[in-house]
Amino acid sequence: MKYRAIAPTDVTVSEVGFGVWTVSTSWWGINDEALGIRLLQQAFDLGITFFDTADTYGNGLGETILAKALGDQRGRITIGTKFGYDFYHHASRRGHEELPHDWRPEYVRFALEESLKRLQTDHVDIYQLHNPRLEAMQRDDLFATLEALKREGKIRAFGPALGPAIAERQIEEGACAIERRRSDVVYIIYNLLEQMLGQGLFELSRRHQSSVLVRVPHASGLLDGTVTPQTVFSEHDHRFHRVSTEDRKQQWQVNGLKKVEQLSFLWEGRGRTLGQAALQYILAEGCVASVLPNMYNEPLLREFAAASDLPGLAPEELARVNELYADNFGLVSA
């Protein structure tokens, strides 16, 4: 495993991180806590030291399970968690709908103290605004609080985890975070098939010496071999909405797999898997500090962790990917 620094800080993260949501929510992955703990511990044994969670994952479970699994390794791991959704006073939700946000300084401090209790630690390494809108990024009192918490040693770095949907809006929010708020990190969706956020924010990150964290590197299963033409999603799977009509299925699943077929030059005869190639493409970007794939079983965990130690993509491979993406892989746009 290789490691990178969060550019303007002394925080170090493993190139491949572990997104704790796969072992703490019902939206993806597993519901067996013992298995989740075992996977977190195996990840650490494989060299993964960056574990990213959120207070709202499983209404606190995403933090408590991390403490159970790796509390005795606190000095050797980097913890990221998120705040902003007020699940303390709005515990119920329908499906995957968003909970109300609360960005008041007093709520931020309250949420952090609760997270520290669940994580059984005295500080959070990377504290992230969870899916903020632009109005949150424009709050001086919010960022004054985050700067104060940094001075107090309760957090070491901060920035937004951008989402959901509407990439143009996320680019505006990310740009505000980088340029106006001098955020240490910005957390985005980026992969071989979904590059809009990277195209909008990587140059800004390089210019202002901030770092980027990347989630959904495998395009929700299209880029790791777990989604096939025959795959059917249950209504409880967060990907169900992508294929809930024939038109949506055509655009995401069918066309997505057609694009993946055209990328086979990245792994066939190259000594790497599809899933590893997808991670290496992202790690080729210098401002990316860590990429966090969905890992919910031991084979995926071992495959993805090993990607950091393989030779990176060649310049000609990167150039070919960029040509295909610019042409939408030869497919007619929706």
The reported pLDDT for the residue numbered 243 is 79
Does 100 sit behind a cis peptide bond, omega within 30 degrees of 0 on the bond before it? no
pLDDT value for 94? 59
Cα–Cα distance list, 291 to 42, 56, 258 (Å)? 18, 21, 24
CB distance 128 to 187 below 8 Å: yes
Q: Which two tokens stand for residue 54?
A: 């959120």
Least confident of 15-29, 233-247, 264-278: 233-247
pLDDT for 95 beyond 60: no
Q: What is the pLDDT of residue 242?
A: 82
The Cβ-side half-sphere exposure at 30, using a 13 Å CA radius, reads: 18
SS3 state of residue 82:
strand
Which range has the worst mean pLDDT, 44-53, 65-74, 226-235, 239-248?
Answer: 239-248
What pTM was computed for the model? Answer: 0.94
**What local confidence, expressed as pLDDT, does residue 234 receive?**
78
- The rounded distance, in Å, linking the Cα atoms of 6 and 177 is 15
* pLDDT of res. 247: 86
pLDDT at 253: 92
DSSP one-letter string for 227-294:
--TT----TTSTTGGGGSSHHHHIIIIIHHHHHHHTTGGGTTTTTS-HHHHHHHHHHTSTTEEEEE--
pLDDT score of 92 more than 80: no
| pLDDT tens sequence across 22-77 | 998 766 567 789 999 999 999 999 999 999 999 999 899 999 999 999 999 999 99
